[in-house]
């Protein structure tokens, strides 16, 4: 898909803005605090119905305004056009696709957005929740059956944890079965996804880090030599003592190894950034290969942190992948040599006003 027009109202210091982006590369420049990240935040909100900067979406609404609105006209892969929009007042979220009220998941399918920002490298060393979210976003876009199974698994887990807390043991075996059934399915989706992602990631790591000695190792969240239902039964005393379920896909994780050593402990900060860049872009690449549903890539303030060679590599890669990309930097020069990039657009942001250059 391609965003043809984007309208933003009351997102942080952007009171009202309308842009017609290029289908390929869009470079967004502006001084510190001009509103560049707010523009990317608006696009992220449109795709994911949440912010990447705060858990409290109300903080993204401009001061003194009751609600934010982000809307767009987009062209799908098959050429058809859709109007999408989201309105958030801090309590309620309204989503519209072609004049119909829809769910967050519908929006996420229509506008897959991948975000890369200076804190993305923490994917390697932050808590496993981040890595599960990374995997699940990829699988959600990769396989339409994932969401239903994931929801059933989540519900079973919630129910089981509630029973553990209230020590109601009578119903627990029914929920063990449900949790094991859908948990095993969620685990299968994740295993398949890692397997599909691995070769794409290896290629991407080869391009950005000049190495193929990279390995993703997945941990299901329980000892897979045993069936999940058996593990749940064996864990029951421990689970009752602590009031939550210790084993299952909600404890899954994956680790990244370089030359058989944990990447987060041995690679330099710069290499870790490139590794995470490769991970995130390999998700996009896989999505493009299999779903033919081009992803919109948002890159906030990253180019300034890359050396000249890696900036050039990144631009070259982005110019050739057929995705719509939005990148921010304070100066146009921060993006590096733009000679190889064609048909790109530049937008300048000043005190929340966005103008094409």
Ligand X SMILES: Nc1ncnc2c1ncn2[C@@H]1O[C@H](COP(=O)(O)OP(=O)(O)OP(=O)(O)O)[C@@H](O)[C@H]1O
Residue stretches of the annotated binding site = 30-37
Q: Which residue has the tokens 């239903």?
A: 148
Tell me the two tokens of residue 153.
């698994």
Is 12 among the residues that bind ligand X (CB under 6 A)? yes
Is 13 among the residues that bind ligand X (CB under 6 A)? yes
Judge contact between 303 and 29, C-beta under 8 A. no
Is 26 among the residues that bind ligand X (CB under 6 A)? no
Nearest C-alpha neighbor of 220 from the set 199, 242, 243, 191: 191
| CA 127 to mean position of chain CA atoms | 15
Q: What is the DSSP letter of 61?
A: B
Which range in 59-67, 84-92, 241-249, 287-295 contacts ligand X by CB under 6 A? 59-67
Shortest separation between residue 331's beta carbon and ligand X, angstroms: 11
Tell me the two tokens of residue 197.
């992602």
Three-state DSSP class for residue 220: coil
Judge contact between 69 and 85, C-beta under 8 A. yes
Distance between CA 271 and CA 124 in Å, rounded?
11
For ligand X, give the closer residue by CB, 15 or 96.
Answer: 15
Shortest separation between residue 61's beta carbon and ligand X, angstroms: 6
Is 37 among the residues that bind ligand X (CB under 6 A)? yes
Near ligand X in 63-122, by CB under 6 A: 63
Among 26, 62, 149, 272, binds ligand X (CB under 6 A): 62
Shortest separation between residue 67's beta carbon and ligand X, angstroms: 12
Is 29 among the residues that bind ligand X (CB under 6 A)? no
- Encoded one letter per residue, x for contact with ligand X by CB under 6 A and - for no contact, window 265-304 reads ------------------------------------x---
Among 17, 36, 84, 272, binds ligand X (CB under 6 A): 36
Neighbours of 79 (CB within 10 A): 6
Is 33 among the residues that bind ligand X (CB under 6 A)? yes
Tell me the two tokens of residue 234.
């064996």
Among 27, 29, 35, 254, binds ligand X (CB under 6 A): 35
Among 24, 29, 34, 272, binds ligand X (CB under 6 A): 34
Judge contact between 347 and 355, C-beta under 8 A. yes
Near ligand X in 129-188, by CB under 6 A: none
For ligand X, give the closer residue by CB, 34 or 282.
Answer: 34
Tally the C-alpha atoms within 13 A of residue 53's C-alpha that lie toward its C-beta. 17
Distance between CA 212 and CA 137 in Å, rounded?
25
Beta-bridge mates of residue 350: 353
Shortest separation between residue 13's beta carbon and ligand X, angstroms: 3
Q: Which residue has the tokens 């948990």?
A: 183
By the criterion CB under 6 A, which residues form the site for ligand X? 12-13, 30, 32-38, 59, 61-63, 301, 330
């Amino acid at each position: 898909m391609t965003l043809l027009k984007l309208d933003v109202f009351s997102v942080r210091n952007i009171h009202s803005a309308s842009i017609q982006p290029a289908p390929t590369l869009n470079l967004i420049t502006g001084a510190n605090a001009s509103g560049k990240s707010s523009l990317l935040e608006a696009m992220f909100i449109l795709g994911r119905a949440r912010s990447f900067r705060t858990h409290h979406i109300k903080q993204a609404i401009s001061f003194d305004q009751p609600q934010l609105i982000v809307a767009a006209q987009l062209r799908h892969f098959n050429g058809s056009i859709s109007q999408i929009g989201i309105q958030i007042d801090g309590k309620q979220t309204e989503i519209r696709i072609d004049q119909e009220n829809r769910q967050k998941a519908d929006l996420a399918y229509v506008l897959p957005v991948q975000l890369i920002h200076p804190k993305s490298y923490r994917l390697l060393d932050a808590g496993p929740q981040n890595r599960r979210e990374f995997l699940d976003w990829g699988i959600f876009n990769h396989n339409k059956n994932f969401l239903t199974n994931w929801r059933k698994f989540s519900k079973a887990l919630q129910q089981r944890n509630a029973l553990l807390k209230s020590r109601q043991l009578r119903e627990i075996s029914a929920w063990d079965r449900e949790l094991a059934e859908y948990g095993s399915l969620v685990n299968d989706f994740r295993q398949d996804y890692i397997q599909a992602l691995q070769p794409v990631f290896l290629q991407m790591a080869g391009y950005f880090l000049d190495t193929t000695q990279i390995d993703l190792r997945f941990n299901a969240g329980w000892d897979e030599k045993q069936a999940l239902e058996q593990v749940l039964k064996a864990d029951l005393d421990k689970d009752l003592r602590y009031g939550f379920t210790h084993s299952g896909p909600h404890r899954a994780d994956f680790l990244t190894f370089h030359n058989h050593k944990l990447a987060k402990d041995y690679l330099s900060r710069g290499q870790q950034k490139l590794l995470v860049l490769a991970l995130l872009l390999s998700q996009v690449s896989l999505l493009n290969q299999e779903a033919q549903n081009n992803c919109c890539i948002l890159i906030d303030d990253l180019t300034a942190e890359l050396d000249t060679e890696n900036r050039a590599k990144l631009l070259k890669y982005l110019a050739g992948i057929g995705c719509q990309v939005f990148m921010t930097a304070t100066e146009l020069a921060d993006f590096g040599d733009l000679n190889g990039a064609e048909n790109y657009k530049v937008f300048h942001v000043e005190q929340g006003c966005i103008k094409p250059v």
